[in-house]
Copies of this chain bind each other. A is one copy, B any other.
Amino acid sequence: MKGFAMLKIGETGWIEKDRPKCGPMDAICKPLALSPCTSDVHTVWEGAIGDRHNMILGHEGCGEVVEVGALVKDFKPGDKVLVPAITPDWNSLEAQAGYSMHSGGMLAGWKFSNFKDGVFGEFFHVNDADGNLAHLPDGVEVQYAPMLSDMVPTGFHGAELADVQYGDSVLVIGIGPVGLMSVAGANLRGASKLYAVGSRPACIEAAKFYGATDIINYKNGPIDKQILDLTHGKGVDKVIIAGGTVDTFDEAVKSLKAGGKIGNVNYLGEGTYIKIPRAEWGVGMGHKQINGGLMPGGRLRMEKLGSLVACGKLDLSKLITHKFNGFENVEKALMLMKDKPADLIKPVVII
């Protein structure tokens, strides 16, 4: 079969591979729609997970089941399915402790285009089909389904980690596709004032659509200065970090009230230490909780988030700015993510 792969750090290309084998609990799927992720860019061009050779890329997509293992009960060939980027081993100690995304080790619930081939192949392998696939619900268009693999669950997890509650004022740092879903997620947990940090017009428009009440441009000065001005020195109740660097935490902590919470869902690629400012963190005692976590994957999460789209309560249309038809355009779509033109939020490839 054909797949679009990372050949080595800094290099991509089309390769031929054997179709993956299906274990007794697993499924083999063919993609129906795919989307590249900034993580694919980190993987290939920044060596974020170390070197990989001829590894098929991609962890965002939906598909059709073509084969299932003997122990699979709830899926059969022909079923259309949502596929999460994170596919845990559900019987692991970590999953039993509530952290399935770290099953088998920190971040190790992430398997596609990390420990095995990703979804940018003619076929892809899903471990534990009953535990990790979900039936594509009526009312979810195939073109939007790949957004449920990673952008929605990651963005929404930011709002969960920040523990947004009714009427909270929330700062969302970063309004790329994940940040936009953090805005939508905070809004769907009852945020009132929602300050979104970004500068690209396409993203700003989408942020307002998803519930942002105020836009902050980081080019106008430190975020915390702007937030403290806007809130009369009080700061916000919660912060979601969906962009930036290890330095961003400095601004986040300074923007936050005592008793507030930070939820980070941003991949931090560089820097030895994350910067938590001592004084504004209450000299260790300010009750400013710092959370950062990989998205929860698996079947239940896909069903829950899929149902929000199916019920019309989450509209994913504003996320997708570029559409392609045909498997071969996965390459073009990935290059778009790499080049990030000003009008890009997410591209999708329909197959």
Which residues of A in the span 172-225 have a Cβ within 8 Å of any Cβ on B? 185, 187-194, 211, 213
A96 touching B91 by the CB < 8 A rule? no
A274 touching B276 by the CB < 8 A rule? yes
- Provide the residues of chain B in CB contact with A273, threshold 8 Å: 250, 273, 275-278
How many copies, total?
A: 4
Query: What per-residue 1/0 map shows which CB atoms of A96-114 lie under 8 Å from chain B?
Result: 1111111001110000000
Least Cβ–Cβ distance between A268 and chain B, in angstroms: 4
* Segment from A2-10, A284-292, A334-342, A343-351 that makes contact with B: A284-292
- Provide the residues of chain B in CB contact with A213, threshold 8 Å: 311
The residue of chain B having its C-beta at the shortest distance from the C-beta of A96 within the complex is B300
Query: What per-residue 1/0 map shows which CB atoms of A264-285 lie under 8 Å from chain B?
Result: 1111111111111110011111
A107 touching B193 by the CB < 8 A rule? no
**Quick check: is A24 within 8 A (CB to CB) of the other chain?**
yes
B282 touching A292 by the CB < 8 A rule? yes
A166 touching B190 by the CB < 8 A rule? no
B286 touching A102 by the CB < 8 A rule? yes
Least Cβ–Cβ distance between A113 and chain B, in angstroms: 16
Number of A residues near B (Cβ < 8 Å) is 90
- Provide the residues of chain B in CB contact with A187, threshold 8 Å: 313
A294 touching B300 by the CB < 8 A rule? no
**Quick check: is A299 within 8 A (CB to CB) of the other chain?**
yes
- Could you tell me the distance between the alpha carbons of A94 and B257 in the complex, rounded to whole angstroms? 9
**Quick check: is A258 within 8 A (CB to CB) of the other chain?**
yes
The residue of chain B having its C-beta at the shortest distance from the C-beta of A188 within the complex is B190
Known contacts A105-B258, A278-B272, A192 near B284 by CB under 8 Å = no
- Could you tell me the distance between the alpha carbons of A93 and B258 in the complex, rounded to whole angstroms? 11
- Could you tell me the distance between the alpha carbons of A206 and B20 in the complex, rounded to whole angstroms? 52
- Provide the residues of chain B in CB contact with A305, threshold 8 Å: 166-167
**Which positions in A face B, CB cutoff 8 Å?**
24-25, 48, 71, 90-102, 105-107, 128, 130-132, 156, 160, 165-169, 185, 187-194, 211, 213, 241, 246, 249-250, 258-259, 264-278, 281-294, 298-301, 303-308, 310-311, 313
